[in-house]
Amino acid sequence: MGLGRRITAVAIFGVICLSQWLCLANGAGGVHHNATAMNSRRAPQKLRCNMYEGSWVFDDSYPLYDSSKCPHIRKEFDCLKYGRPDKQYLKYRWQPHNCNLPRFDGKSFLKKFKGKQIMFIGDSISLNQWQSLVCMLHSAVPQSTILEQGSEPITNYTFQGYEVSVLVFHSPYLVDIVEEKIGRVLKLDSIKNGATWKNIDILVFNTWLWWYRRGPKQPWDYIQIGNKIVKDMDRMEAFKMALTTWAKWINTEVDLRKTKVLFQGITPQHYHGKEWNEPEVTNCAKETQPLKGSTYPIGLPPASHVLQGVLNKMTKPVHLLNITILSQLRKDAHPSSYNGFKGMDCTHWCVAGLTDTWNELLYNVVTS
């Protein structure tokens, strides 16, 4: 090999990460030929590090905080308080394939977003993530006074001294449910709450958990699309219509120069062991370790494809906080029966736990 080619090879080998979001993956041999370098320059998508593709690794420096010292955790999510005996689920760190996920820095977050508002909008999964972020920030500035304001559907925790407000807005469907003479009507083409959301600095949306709920706990009696009212319809189609209404609202009402918008990926449940090749398992009660590897045996849930399809058609770019696969791998991270209700919960997540990783990813998106 000539001197010029050796220098080129060394230079290419030395450049691994251009930034936390733009990484060059090492090849099997570590050295790339000139042609490879030229091709990578022509196809920059090959250089980009996907923070959502990776695997879980044991890391004894985790969790990021002691949940017993966070006074803001609801009884649904406070697994250690309600007797969970194993703690290994707290010790896993998400490791992207070709780069590292920077550790959450609560003080840096509060300083960077001084005077700003971040709002989680959606169902109880949004509440789950909101609780996590409140604890992560509280642990960084434990002496800071937190001013709690509001009531259903909106709660606001403001960190005094930084004037950073972390809000949650309960809206399971994102679109409206209106009480009318015929009963409660789910309006798939209406978002009146948008007036409350649109001027927030960071918006994190989520919906899915309630779209298949039926019976006494279903919070609506009829569905309306335009002037048409029906008793029921295909729920996946209804979900798609609601997301399309939300997307149109973002496209027309939200100024992305002032507001960062993210949509959280579909959150998995773990009630059926056959999904992870253990057909005899019927819930998450005895799960103490994540799945190995980077893929979930049954693949993405159908709702993920619907969500991605709607996001792809938007005229304004919205970031998909794509936590689906990394959460599918965490069958061990649910409260199971270790919650204040003592019921089997393989839907929500322990705090501290997996939702802290969601917020580490969120932190890197909004600060990059």
**What are the beta bridge partners of residue 154?**
151, 169
From the candidates 124, 139, 190, 337, give the one annotated as an active-site residue: 124
Token readout for 205 is: 């949306």
101 near 53, Cβ under 8 Å?
no
Would you call 345 exposed, middle or buried from its count of C-beta atoms within 10 A (0-12, 13-18, 19+)? Answer: buried
Nearest to 194 by CA among 265, 247, 131: 247
pLDDT of residue 29: 34
- If you write DSSP's letter for every residue of 48-80 in order, what string do you get? B--TTSEEEEE-TT--SS-GGG-TT--TTT-TT
pLDDT of residue 37: 39
| Residues of the chain below pLDDT 70 | 1-47
pLDDT of residue 253: 96
pLDDT of residue 49: 84
Nearest to 333 by CA among 54, 53, 132: 132
pLDDT of residue 363: 96
Respond yes or no: is residue 345 known to be catalytic: yes
Respond yes or no: is residue 124 known to be catalytic: yes
pLDDT of residue 152: 86
